[in-house]
Amino acid sequence: MKITAYSPKSSSWILLLLTLSFLLTSSFAFQSDELLVDDEEFGLEGGSGSTPDVGSTIPARPSQPARKRSPPDFSSGSDLDSKVQFTLEHAFGDSDFSPAGTFAARVKNSPHSGQTLTKLRFSRTDFTAADKDNFKKLLEADDFYRIRIPSNLLTPPGIDYVISSVKARCLPRHGLDEHIVIHMDGVNVLAVNYGSQGACQYPRHLKFPKRWLFNSHTVLKSGEQAPRTPVFSEETAVGENGEGEGVAPPERSFWAKYWMYLLPLGLIVMNAMTQAMNMPEEQQGGGQAGSQVQQRGQSAAVRRR
Amino acid sequence: MAMAIRIRVLLLFLFFLSLSHPTFSLYQDQVGLMDWHQQYIGKVKHAVFHTQKAGRKRVVVSTEENVIASLDLRRGEIFWRHVLGSNDTVNELDIALGKYVITLSSGGKYLRAWNLPDGQMIWESFLPGSTASRSILSIPTNLKVGKDDLILAYGSGSLYAVSSIDGEVLWTKDLASEGIDVQQLIHRHGSNIIYALGFIGSSHFATFEINAKNGELLKHDKVRFTGGFCGDISFLKSDTAVALDSTRSSLVSVRFRDGEISIEQVHISDLLLDSSGVAAILPYKLIEMVAVKVKEFIIFVKLTNEGKFVVVGQIDHTAIISDSLSILEDQQAIALIQHGDNKIQLTVKLVSDWSNHLIKETSYMDCQRGLAQRIFLNNYVRTDRSSGFRALIVMEDHSLLLVQQGEIVWSREDGLASIVEVTTSELPLEKDSVSVATVEHSLLEWLKGHVLKLKGTLMLANPDDIAAIQKLRVQSSEKSKMTRDHNGFRKLIIVLTRAGKLFALHTGDGQIVWSVLLNSLRKSQTCEAPNVLTLHQWQVPHHHALDENPSILVLGRCGPNLDSPGVYSIVDAYTGKELNSVGPFHSIVQIIPLPHTDSREQRLHLLIDKDWHAHLYPRSPEALAIFQREVGNIYWYSVEADNGILRGHAAKENCILQLPDEYCFGTRNLWSIVFPSESERIIATATRKLNEAVHTQAKVVADQDVMYKYISKNLLFIATVAPQAAGDIGSVTPDESWLVVYLVDTITGRILHRMTHYGSQGPVHAVVSENWVVYHYFNLRAHRYEMSVIEIYDQSRADNKDVLKLVLGKHNLTSAISAYTRTEVVTKQQSYFFSHSLKAISTTSTAKGITSKQLLIGTVGDQVLALDKRFLDPRRTLNPTQAEKEEGIIPLTDSLPIIPQSYVTHALKVEGLRGIVTVPAKLESTTLVFAHGVDLFFTRLAPSKTYDSLTEDFSYALLLITIVALVVAIFVTWILSERKELQEKWR
C-alpha cells in the first residue's frame, strides 16, 4: 500500500501558501489540497511558522464528539479514528537534534489489519538563519544532515527514534529537495529513509541552493505480502522433473565426449596440410607459366609438323 | 581432394550424431580421487574402558560434541560412533552387563542402551520430569528385580529404576518434592536398599533409604550442620562423605552408618599450615580419599577409621588427577599428570600406599598440544603378570592420546571436530625458495613406506600391503604437493578450532600441514577465560610484497561477555609461526575488514569496542593515512538482535580517551531501523561474500530484453518472526506467526524490499549472492518447509538498452554509483516447497563468476546437496515459451526436486554439519567445497561441468592416432589425385 500525501505539484502550491501565510503572519491554516479534508481538526502549528513549539509529540486525542463535519463515507468507522502528530527533528553533522517539521496523520482502526496510518501530511519548518549557516558548513565539509522521527507514534515521546541521514551535498537542487519514505508496520515506524529526490552524483560537488525552501515529498510504505507458493497435483510435479534429470545416459565413447575439441583440431590440421601442399604447387605453376606456354607452343608446332 | 572433403563431411556427420546429455554425478571409482573425508569425535569428557575380554580392546567415550563412540584401544580408530542432537548433551556414560553402553543425556531425560560390539541402539527410555537437577547414573552390580538387572538413573528430580533388558521403567520416586538435592546414589553389595544422599537447603545433609524392589521410601534422615554447606562434596566410601562448609575454609566429614548421621568439622588450617584462602573439592571420583585445592596446591586428604583427617600428599595445582581405578585385591590406584617443558610426567599411585608409586613415566609431549586436561586410567596385565597401566589423556587442544610405557601409542586430533571459522590460503609458488613446514612424518613411517614399496616391486606384497602402497602413491602424487598448481586446486584450508588451535589442512588429501596452539588464546593470568572469536585473512600478497608469506589474523576475547578485553594474533600461513600477538586490550564487539590494503598488502581492519570506538589495525602511519583518505566512504552496520535494532555507522574524528590514541576513532549513528518488539524479532541475517566475483551486471531475458541486476556489496538480508513464533515449529498456530524478510542497503539504511510470509516460522537459513537471496523456512499452513528466492533488479539503468545511446556514449553505465542515489529497484520472488530441513546453506563461487551457480544445502541427514540455482528462479512459469526454454527456464513446479545423484557427499555423511565453505579455484569452472561439523569433507565441484579443461581420463593417445591417421589420409589422397591427374594428361 502506498499513500502519497503530496504530489510534487501540490506541494509547491502549498509552499506558495506557506510563504503567503508567512507574509500575512496570520495563523490561518490552508485548505487548498484535496487531502486536507479535515484540516480544522489538525492543530497545525508548524505551518504557520509563528512559534516553533512543535518539538513535543502531541499524543493522539481520543474520539472527538464535537466534530464539525465528517464525510459520509467515514461516518461508521471514523469514531474509532484518531489523529496523531509527530515531529521531524534534524541535526547538522553531530549537533543535537532540533525540531524541523511536523507530520500529522490519522490513525485508522480496521478490524482486519489493526491500526494503520492514513492521510499523512507534512509541514516543514523553514531554516532559520542559524540553520542556514550550519547547513552551509555541512555542504562545505561534505558532512551528514540527519533527521529522526519517533519509532512509536502512539506512546508519547518515543524512547527509540528511527534515524536517517544523507550527505548534505545531495540535497540542493534549485531549492532543497527532500524525499522522505516512512516504512510503517501498523502504527510503528520501522524506518525512515531520507534523501534527495533524484540521483546524487558521485563525486559530490559543492553547490549552494538558490532558494532556502524545502521541496518535500513524503511516502508512507508498508510491507507487501509474499505470494503464495503454487500448489500443483503431485504427479505432474514429480514426474516431469525428477526423472528427466535423473536418467543418466550410458557411458559415452571417446568421440562422443571430445568431438568438440577434435573437430576443429582435425579441420585445422587438414586445412594446414592442404595449404602446405598447395603452396609449392602454385609456386611451381607460377614460375613455369611462361615456359609452359612456350612448350605448348613447341608441342603444337611439333604436332603440326 | 574430393575424397578429403568427403571424409570431412563424414566426420562432421558422425560428431553431430554423438551429441548427448551431460551428467552431474560421479562414478564409483571416482570416489576419493578429488574428495576426502575425515571423522572426528570432539573433546572427550567421559571414557569407559572395556578390556576384560580377550577380544578387541576398546574404550567407549562421550564428548562435548555429543558424540558417543567406541574407539580401538590399539590404534585409536573408531569402531562405531553416534552423534546425538545438538542439545542432547551426554551427562553420564557407563557399561552395563558387560555388553551394553548406557548413556544418560539431556539432563537426565533420555536413558539409552547401545550394543557394545556394533553400537546399535538396544532401547531408549524417556524419563519425564520438569525440575532441573544434576543427573546421576548408577549401575549397581547384582541388584535384581525379578530377572531384570536394575539401572538407577536420577534426573529431573526423580529417581528411576530401569530394567537393563528392555529399558522399561520399573518404578519412579520423586525426590525433588522431598526437598533433597541428590548428590550420590549408593547401593551396598548384597542389600536391597538404595541410599540417595544429598543436601536439603544449604545446611542439612539427608539420607533417603529406598527399597530397590518397588521404590518405596523406607526411611529418611537428616542432620543439620550449623556452618552450612557450600555444595562441594565427595564420597569416600559407601558410608562416608567429605564436604566443604559455606565459608570454604573447613572440611566436614559426614558418616551415615546404620541410619545415623554424624558430622565432624576440621578447619583446613589445622591440616595445612599455610592455608589462608578458599578451598575447593575437586570433582574427581576418588575412593577413600579426597582431593582439595587450596591456593596453589592440591592436597590429598584421607579419613581414618576414627574419623580423623590426614593429609597424605600435596602436589602442584596444575596437576591432573584421574578417577580412582580398583585393581587387584581391593586396591585403588590413581594417576597424576604433572607438566614439564615439552613433556608430561605420569605417576600412578596406590591410595593405600601414597609414598610409593607403581609407575613413573615421562613422555615427550608436543608443546602445540598444550597442557593435559583430563586423564582416564586403565590397567592391564603385563607379560610378566604384573599390572601395567595405560592412560587416555585429553589435551588442551582437545586432542586425545593414549600413553602406555611412557610412549604415545596413538593420538587423535579431535579439536578438528569443533571448527569455529575457516579461511584459505594459497600455497607458495613452485620456484619459490619459501618452503612449507614439512608434514609431520616420523622416520619410522618413512622407512615403512620404503619397505612397502620394495615389497611391491619384489612381488611379495599381500593385498593389505598393496592397498597401503596405493595409499602411499596417492599421498605422494601430484595433488598433495606443497606448491601452487596451475588450476588452483591445491590450497591450504586454515581452520580455527574452539580450543584456540589453528590447523592448516592441505586440500589435496586433508593432511595437517601445520598446527599451532595460539598462546594469546590460552588461559593465562592476564586472560582468564579465553574465547576464540574469528579468523580473517590479514595479508594476501599478490601484487606487491610477493616475497612475503600470507598471514592470518585470529581474534579472541578474554571472557564470555561482549565487554571482555580482546586479544589478537597474526600467524604466518605457510609455517604456522605466530608473528605477532597483542592483548588483552579493548573489547571487541565487531570486526570489519575494510576494502583497503597497505603497501605490504596488509588488510585494514576496524575493531569496534563496546563504547562504539573504532580501532584501526594495523597500527602503522601508512594505514592511518589510507584510512583518513577513505574515511568518508567507510560505513558499517550493527545488528542488535536483542533490542531489535539495526544501525548504520560511520567513523568521525579521533576519539577522546585519557590516553590520546590516533588509531582510535569515534563513530556516529547514521541511520537506524527499529523493529517493533511486540511484533518482530530478528532471527537471521545474511550478506554477500566480500570477495564474490560477478561476471555480468545484466541479464538477458527471453524476449531479447535486458534486465540490470542490482549488485551491491552492501545488501543485507534480515529475517524477523513474531516473538511468540520464535520457539520450536508447532508451538504456535499459523494465525499468530509470521515471517518478515527485508533487503536493506547498509549504507543509507534504505529498505529496498520488505515482504511478509504469513503463517510461516523460522528457523531461517539464508544465502545472498549477486542480486538474489534464497532463504529457507517453515510454512505452518502447508506443513512443509519452503525455500523462497528474491531477485532484485535495478530499474534506473533499464533505459540503457538503447543501442544508439550506447554508441553515442549517452549512458550512465560507467558513472560512479552513489548509494545516496535512490535507485528504483524491482524485485521478483517465488516460493517452492522443499522437503528437507536445513543445517546450513551456501552457494558455489568461482573465480570470475561466469559459471552458473549451485546452492549447497546441508541437509538434516548431514549431507551436502547441490541444487541448481535454475530451480530457484522467480521467472519460472507453468508453460515457458520457446524463447524462455532456450534461456534455460524450467517449467514451474511447486516443490524443488531432490536428485539423489546430486549429493556432493555421495555416500558419506558429515556428522554434525555446521558450515559449508566454498572457495573458487583458479580454473573458472571449478569451485572447492569444504563442509565441516564433527567430520570434515572436501571436494571439487564443477556446477556446469569442466568446460574449460579436459578430464583426467582424456585419451591423448587416441588423439594422436587420429591426427596421424588424418595426415596419412591426406598424403594418400594427394598421391592418388596426383596419379590420376598424370593419367589424364597421358590420355
Tell me: the pLDDT tens digits for A88-141? Answer: 889 888 888 888 888 888 888 877 667 788 888 888 888 888 888 888 888 888
**Cell digits of residue B518:** 595460539
Q: Do B277 and B327 have their domain in common? A: no
B391 belongs to a structural domain: yes
| Residues contacting residue B525 through CB under 8 Å, at least 6 positions apart | none
| Residues contacting residue B986 through CB under 8 Å, at least 6 positions apart | none
Can you tell me the distance from the alpha carbon of A8 to that of A175, in angstroms, rounded to the nearest whole number? 13
Q: Which of A273-287, B256-270, B510-524 has the lowest mean pLDDT?
A: A273-287
Q: Do B339 and B301 have their domain in common? A: no
pTM of the prediction? 0.81
Q: Do B264 and B301 have their domain in common? A: yes
Mean pLDDT of B731-735: 85
Residue type, B724: Q
> Distance, in angstroms, between B764 CA and closest chain A CA?
16
pLDDT, tens digit, for every residue of B754-770? 999 999 988 999 999 98
**Cell digits of residue B624:** 592511518
B339 belongs to a structural domain: yes
Residue-number span of the structural domain to which B333 is assigned: 320-412
**Partners of residue A184 in chain B, C-beta under 8 Å:** none
Interior angle at CA A139, CA A135 and CA A145, nearest 5: 60
- Residue A60 near residue A107 (C-beta atoms within 8 A): yes
Q: Do B326 and B310 have their domain in common? A: no
B274 belongs to a structural domain: yes
Q: Determine what percent of chain B is predicted with pLDDT higher than 70.
A: 91
B343 belongs to a structural domain: yes
> Distance, in angstroms, between A163 CA and closest chain B CA?
4
> Distance, in angstroms, between B645 CA and closest chain A CA?
9
Cα distances from B420 to residues A33, A253, A288, B106, in angstroms, run 60, 46, 83, 24
B28 belongs to a structural domain: no
Can you tell me the distance from the alpha carbon of B378 to that of B348, in angstroms, rounded to the nearest whole number? 11
**A151 touching B, CB under 8 A?**
yes
B963 belongs to a structural domain: yes
Q: Decide which of B60 and A305 is more confident.
A: B60
In which band, very low, low, confident or very high, does the pLDDT at B795 lie, cut at 50, 70 and 90?
A: confident
**Partners of residue B748 in chain A, C-beta under 8 Å:** 164-166, 193, 195
Q: Do B273 and B294 have their domain in common? A: yes
Q: Do B366 and B400 have their domain in common? A: yes
Cα distances from B503 to residues B368, B418, B423, in angstroms, run 11, 12, 11
**Partners of residue B680 in chain A, C-beta under 8 Å:** 185
pLDDT exceeds 60 at position B397: yes
Q: Determine what percent of chain A is predicted with pLDDT higher than 70.
A: 56
Can you tell me the distance from the alpha carbon of B11 to that of B5, in angstroms, rounded to the nearest whole number? 10
B809: left (phi over 0), alpha (psi -120 to 50) or beta: left
Contact yes or no for B788 and A202 at CB 8 A: no
Q: Do B327 and B353 have their domain in common? A: yes
Can you tell me the distance from the alpha carbon of B140 to that of A209, in angstroms, rounded to the nearest whole number? 89
- Residue A231 near residue B894 (C-beta atoms within 8 A): yes
Mean pLDDT of B183-194: 84
Can you tell me the distance from the alpha carbon of B251 to that of B243, in angstroms, rounded to the nearest whole number? 6
- B796, closest residue in chain A (CA to CA): A199
pLDDT exceeds 80 at position A177: yes
The predicted structure's pLDDT at residue B983: 93
Q: Do B309 and B362 have their domain in common? A: no
pLDDT, tens digit, for every residue of A133-170? 888 888 888 888 999 888 887 765 556 888 998 888 88
pLDDT exceeds 60 at position A53: no
Number of domains in chain B: 3
- B754, closest residue in chain A (CA to CA): A223
**Cell digits of residue B121:** 541402539
**A258 touching B, CB under 8 A?**
yes
- Nearest CB to B893 within list A204, A232, A255: A232
**Cell digits of residue B189:** 553389595
Contact yes or no for A165 and B893 at CB 8 A: no
pLDDT exceeds 60 at position B794: yes
The predicted structure's pLDDT at residue A67: 34
Among B396, B412, B428, the domain-final residue is B412
Most distant CA pair in chain A, distance: 138
In which band, very low, low, confident or very high, does the pLDDT at B853 lie, cut at 50, 70 and 90?
A: very high
Which of B83, B46, B839, B71 is closest to B417 using CA atoms? B83
Mean pLDDT of A81-94: 84
Q: Do B307 and B366 have their domain in common? A: no
CB atoms near residue B509 (< 10 Å)? 16
- A260, closest residue in chain B (CA to CA): B15
* Most confident stretch, A218-227, B429-438, B487-496: B487-496
Q: Do B261 and B326 have their domain in common? A: no
The predicted structure's pLDDT at residue A286: 43
CB atoms near residue A205 (< 10 Å)? 9
Enumerate the β-bridge partners of residue B279. B294
- Nearest CB to B954 within list A221, A230, A258: A258
Mean pLDDT of B863-884: 88
Contact yes or no for B967 and A273 at CB 8 A: yes
Among A residues 193-232, those touching chain B with beta carbons less than 8 Å apart: 193, 195-204, 221, 223-232
**Cell digits of residue A245:** 534429470
- B652, closest residue in chain A (CA to CA): A94
pLDDT exceeds 90 at position A203: no
Mean pLDDT of B937-959: 82
**B962 touching A, CB under 8 A?**
yes
- A243, closest residue in chain B (CA to CA): B899
**Partners of residue A199 in chain B, C-beta under 8 Å:** 796, 818, 821-822
**Partners of residue A195 in chain B, C-beta under 8 Å:** 748, 750, 820, 822
Q: Decide which of B573 and B268 is more confident.
A: B573
Q: Which of A261-265, A286-290, B325-329, B384-388 has the lowest mean pLDDT?
A: A286-290
Find the DSSP H helices in B331-476.
Answer: 443-457, 463-476
The predicted structure's pLDDT at residue A77: 40
Q: Name residue, grid cell 580454473.
A: B923
Q: Do B275 and B241 have their domain in common? A: yes
In which band, very low, low, confident or very high, does the pLDDT at A233 lie, cut at 50, 70 and 90?
A: low
Cα distances from B724 to residues A225, B52, B675, in angstroms, run 20, 54, 15
Can you tell me the distance from the alpha carbon of A35 to that of A49, in angstroms, rounded to the nearest whole number? 21
Q: Which of A277-281, B200-204, B822-826, B862-866 has the lowest mean pLDDT?
A: A277-281
Mean pLDDT of A204-216: 82
> Distance, in angstroms, between B899 CA and closest chain A CA?
6
For chain A, the C-alpha Rg in angstroms (whole number) is 39
**Cell digits of residue B441:** 612424518
Q: Decide which of B550 and B452 is more confident.
A: B550
Query: What's B29's DSSP letter?
Result: G
For every residue of B469-505, DSSP letters joined together read HHHHHHHHSGGG-SS--TTS--EEEEEEETTSEEEEE
Among B350, B379, B412, the domain-final residue is B412
**B894 touching A, CB under 8 A?**
yes
Among B residues 830-859, those touching chain A with beta carbons less than 8 Å apart: 830-833
B726 belongs to a structural domain: no
Can you tell me the distance from the alpha carbon of B500 to that of B532, in angstroms, rounded to the nearest whole number? 6
The burial of B259, by beta-carbon neighbours within 10 Å (0-12 exposed, 13-18 middle, 19 or more buried), is given as exposed
pLDDT exceeds 70 at position A12: no
Q: Name residue, grid cell 560512479.
A: B816
pLDDT, tens digit, for every residue of B622-647? 999 999 888 888 899 999 988 889 99
Contact yes or no for A195 and B818 at CB 8 A: no
Q: Cα B930 from chain centroid? A: 12
The predicted structure's pLDDT at residue B25: 62
Beta-strand pair B58-63/B67-72: antiparallel
Mean pLDDT of B968-980: 95
Interior angle at CA A303, CA A300 and CA A305, nearest 5: 115
Mean pLDDT of B850-877: 91
Enumerate the β-bridge partners of residue A82. A107
pLDDT, tens digit, for every residue of B656-696? 777 778 888 988 899 999 998 888 899 999 999 888 888 88
Among B residues 3-42, those touching chain A with beta carbons less than 8 Å apart: 4, 8, 11-12, 14-15, 18-21, 23-25
B108 belongs to a structural domain: no
Contact yes or no for A253 and B675 at CB 8 A: no
Q: Which of A223-227, A256-260, B190-194, B541-545 has the lowest mean pLDDT?
A: B541-545
**Partners of residue A262 in chain B, C-beta under 8 Å:** 15, 959, 962
| Residues contacting residue B1 through CB under 8 Å, at least 6 positions apart | A274, B973, B977
The predicted structure's pLDDT at residue B62: 94
In which band, very low, low, confident or very high, does the pLDDT at A247 lie, cut at 50, 70 and 90?
A: very low
First to last CA, chain A: 108
Mean pLDDT of A46-74: 34
pLDDT, tens digit, for every residue of B424-468? 998 887 754 444 444 445 677 777 777 877 777 777 777 777 777
The dihedrals phi and psi of B507, each to the nearest 5 degrees, come to -70, -20
In which band, very low, low, confident or very high, does the pLDDT at B21 lie, cut at 50, 70 and 90?
A: very low
**Cell digits of residue B941:** 565441484
Cα distances from A19 to residues A15, A45, A131, A178, B440, in angstroms, run 6, 15, 18, 18, 83
Beta strand residue intervals within B73-225, DSSP E: 78-83, 90-96, 100-105, 110-115, 121-126, 136-138, 144-145, 148-155, 158-163, 169-174, 180-187, 193-200, 204-211, 217-224
Residue type, B611: D
**0.95 surpassed by complex ipTM:** no
**Can you count the helices (H) and strands (E) in chain B?**
8, 65
Q: Which of A286-295, B286-295, B803-812 has the lowest mean pLDDT?
A: A286-295
**B817 touching A, CB under 8 A?**
yes
Can you tell me the distance from the alpha carbon of B634 to that of B626, in angstroms, rounded to the nearest whole number? 11
Q: Do B304 and B324 have their domain in common? A: no
- Nearest CB to A245 within list B786, B897, B967: B897
pLDDT exceeds 50 at position B14: no
Which of B863, B909, B914 is closest to B422 using CA atoms? B914
Q: Decide which of A1 and B501 is more confident.
A: B501
Cα distances from B309 to residues A202, B55, B927, in angstroms, run 82, 44, 67
In which band, very low, low, confident or very high, does the pLDDT at B475 lie, cut at 50, 70 and 90?
A: low
Mean pLDDT of B19-37: 63
- Say how many CB pairs under 8 Å bridge A and B: 202
* Most confident stretch, A78-82, A258-262, B41-45, B126-130: B41-45
Among B295, B317, B339, the domain-final residue is B317
Tell me the average pLDDT of chain B: 85
* Most confident stretch, B127-136, B385-394, B490-499: B490-499
Assign residue B326 the CATH number of its domain. 2.40.10
The predicted structure's pLDDT at residue B551: 92
Mean pLDDT of B389-416: 91
